[in-house]
């Protein structure tokens, strides 16, 4: 059977000094499967857009910011990640230059600047598998990573990556 994942973007907007990232605290809808968790910004690609255009659109929609510079940090395959076991494939970006004033909230929750060290040390509620790839998003290695993290019953069951 062919692999036909849902394609998505996930972006981490950096503060001007590069010490914090803008995260969404998913606290707007109690029925949200990610309720209470913090995450980067992003979402599903539209059929007519490339991944960079999709990332720019999501940053504008979710944070009200115009992306001026983004860098691909990696790709991640999440077989079985969806609510009904759907496969997801994500393109993970860092947005280092942007213009505008970030929104305070959106339909998913509140936007908060969080110190990167707090994110990497897992000092807030995140998706269970984030602890594996977030250090790679924010490390100094310029090479993108490419990972696979299968999920079963809402939990990651393994993790591997190459650079």
Asked, for residue 163, whether it belongs to a domain, the answer is no
pLDDT of residue 24: 97
Q: How many domains does the chain have?
A: 1
Asked, for residue 1, whether it belongs to a domain, the answer is no
pLDDT of residue 98: 98
Asked, for residue 10, whether it belongs to a domain, the answer is yes
pLDDT of residue 128: 87
Domain that holds residue 89: 6-157
Per-residue three-class SS string for the chain: CCCCCEEEEEEEEECCCCCEEEEEECCCCCCCCCCCCEECEEEECCCCCCHHHHHHHHHHHHHCCEEEEEEEEEEEEECCCCCCCCCEEEEEEEEEEEECCCCCEECCEEEEEEEHHHHHCCCCCCCCCHHHHHHHHHCCCCCCEEEECCEECCEECCCEEEC
Per-residue pLDDT of the chain (163 residues; tens, 9 = 90+): 789 999 999 999 999 999 999 999 999 999 888 899 999 999 999 999 999 999 999 999 999 999 999 999 999 999 999 888 899 999 999 999 999 999 999 999 999 999 999 999 999 999 889 999 999 999 999 999 999 999 999 899 999 999 9
Inter-CA distances, 135 with 36, 105, 115, 120, 129, Å: 21, 26, 13, 6, 12
pLDDT of residue 1: 75
Asked, for residue 84, whether it belongs to a domain, the answer is yes
CATH number for position 56: 3.90.79.10
Asked, for residue 17, whether it belongs to a domain, the answer is yes
Asked, for residue 35, whether it belongs to a domain, the answer is yes
Asked, for residue 97, whether it belongs to a domain, the answer is yes
* Tens digits of residue pLDDT in 38-79: 999 999 999 999 999 999 999 999 999 999 999 999 999 999
Asked, for residue 162, whether it belongs to a domain, the answer is no
């Amino acid at each position: 059977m062919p692999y036909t994942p849902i394609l998505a973007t996930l972006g981490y907007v950096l503060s001007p000094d590069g010490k914090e990232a803008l995260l969404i605290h998913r606290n707007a809808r109690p029925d949200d499967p990610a309720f209470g968790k913090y995450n980067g910004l992003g979402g599903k690609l539209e059929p007519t857009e490339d991944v960079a255009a999709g990332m720019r659109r999501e940053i504008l929609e979710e944070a009200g910011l115009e992306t001026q510079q983004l860098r691909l940090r990696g790709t991640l395959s999440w077989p079985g990640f969806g609510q009904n076991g759907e496969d997801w494939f994500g393109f993970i970006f860092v947005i280092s230059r942007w213009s505008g004033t970030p929104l305070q909230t959106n339909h998913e929750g509140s936007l908060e600047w969080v110190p990167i060290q707090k994110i990497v040390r897992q000092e807030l509620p995140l998706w269970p598998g984030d602890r594996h790839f977030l250090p790679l998003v924010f490390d100094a290695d310029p090479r993108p990573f490419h990972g696979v993290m299968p999920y079963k019953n809402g939990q990651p069951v393994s993790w591997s990556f190459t650079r």
